[in-house]
């Protein structure tokens, strides 16, 4: 009987020790993915992350040589303090993702450009975009200069995945964040850009910088995104930077108080059946909206929401046609549950017969 009791006691202790070890491992895993917070509750997501080995956000998608290339931000946990200026989004490099088609295996092509290789850069490599012209691939990126003011730079490569070599100076006359480069049917290229709050767009009026400039009040006209035509060499602005007008259905501009519809950041342009679609994020209300027009310069009339709020604070989109369908690329925080550690996703985008876009819920 004593031997039996000893055996039972031994088994019980072993089970308890194993349980404790498993609990410790599980706790460590949670801290690894979600900092000091508990893991996010399981939800039924519409789409799965494209990659999980690294954190990615702000996807700009393009089709080059019949293959889909995605140019995202690369989120990392650097320990920077979280605040409304976005200091915790302290990205150091870019990785380019590629795939033959949506649903096919995704390749992480490694570091395409690192901040240490940008001569004029200070900190924070935010949302990039890319374009192809003159037999060259161009990567456009916002980064704070050594005076902590965002400007937009350009880097070049002979391959869509890079590596890219940055120009020694930012694009003259550029400022703020979130460049989107659009090629029109006539061969002209335009850059749309800007973002308020941490993106510093509120500091720029008539293309002049004022470090003391404030955000607009609710009853004031909303701050507008910017547009500039690119020169033939794709490295300069041709002419002055201009504002992009976004109007309501009555032809009136939005006020800052219309923060569920007004522009905040994440400008993107695409063209569908001859109409220009300008999409963007409303930021603090977390919608991805769109407005339409008959010219790349605007004005654009607000039409509605493309993507309702995702997990996490930010939302940032791109829209591209590939393999006979249209696709919406976006991000959320499914993998980490942390605002600054995001993951890129994609889902099909559908149009109604009248050209309106069918709204997408990021959850099933």
Active site residues: 58, 265
**In the structure encoding, which two tokens stand for residue 227, read together?**
């547009």
283 SS3 class: helix
CA dist 228 and 189 (Å) reads: 9
- Round the CA-based radius of gyration of the chain to a whole number and report it: 23
Q: Which residues pair with 228 in a beta bridge?
A: 191
Q: Which residues pair with 113 in a beta bridge?
A: 94
CA dist 199 and 152 (Å) reads: 12
CA dist 277 and 18 (Å) reads: 57
**In the structure encoding, which two tokens stand for residue 144, read together?**
């704070």
CA dist 301 and 11 (Å) reads: 71
In 3D space, the residue among 226, 250, 224 whose CA is nearest the CA of residue 237 turns out to be 226
Strands 180-183 and 189-193: antiparallel
Per-residue exposure over 275-306, b if at least 16 CB sit within 10 Å of its own CB, e if not: ebbbbbbbbeebbbbbbbbeebebbbbbbebb
């Amino acid at each position: 009987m004593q031997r039996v009791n000893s055996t039972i006691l031994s088994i019980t202790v072993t089970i308890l020790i194993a349980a404790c070890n498993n609990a410790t491992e599980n706790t460590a895993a949670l801290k690894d993915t979600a900092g000091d917070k508990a893991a996010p509750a399981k939800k039924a997501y519409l789409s799965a992350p494209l990659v999980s080995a690294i954190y990615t956000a702000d996807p700009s998608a393009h089709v080059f040589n019949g293959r889909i290339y995605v140019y995202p931000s690369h989120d990392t946990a650097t320990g920077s303090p979280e605040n409304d200026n976005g200091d915790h989004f302290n990205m150091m490099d870019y990785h380019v993702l590629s795939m033959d088609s949506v649903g096919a295996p995704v390749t992480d092509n490694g570091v395409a450009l690192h901040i240490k290789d940008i001569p004029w850069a200070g900190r924070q490599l935010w949302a990039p975009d890319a374009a192809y012209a003159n037999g060259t691939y161009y990567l456009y990126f916002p980064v704070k200069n050594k005076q902590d003011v965002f400007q937009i730079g350009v880097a070049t490569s002979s391959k869509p995945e890079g590596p890219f070599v940055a120009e020694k100076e930012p694009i003259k006359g550029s400022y703020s964040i979130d460049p989107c480069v659009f090629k029109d049917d006539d061969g002209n290229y335009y850059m749309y850009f800007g973002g308020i709050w941490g993106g510093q767009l509120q500091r720029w009026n008539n293309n002049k910088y004022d470090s003391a400039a404030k955000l607009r009040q609710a009853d004031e006209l909303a701050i507008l995104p910017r547009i500039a035509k690119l020169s033939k060499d794709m490295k300069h602005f041709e002419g002055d930077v201009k504002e992009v007008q976004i109007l309501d259905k009555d032809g009136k501009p939005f006020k800052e108080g219309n923060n569920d519809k007004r522009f905040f950041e994440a400008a993107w342009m695409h063209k569908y059946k001859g109409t220009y679609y300008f999409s963007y994020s409303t930021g603090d209300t977390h919608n991805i909206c769109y407005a339409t027009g008959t010219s790349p310069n605007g004005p654009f009339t607000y039409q509605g929401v493309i993507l309702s709020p995702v997990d996490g604070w930010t939302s940032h989109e791109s829209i591209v046609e590939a393999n006979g369908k249209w696709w919406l690329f976006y991000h959320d925080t499914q993998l980490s549950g942390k605002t600054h550690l995001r993951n890129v996703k994609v889902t099909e985008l559908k149009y109604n017969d009248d050209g309106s876009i069918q709204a997408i819920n990021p959850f099933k």
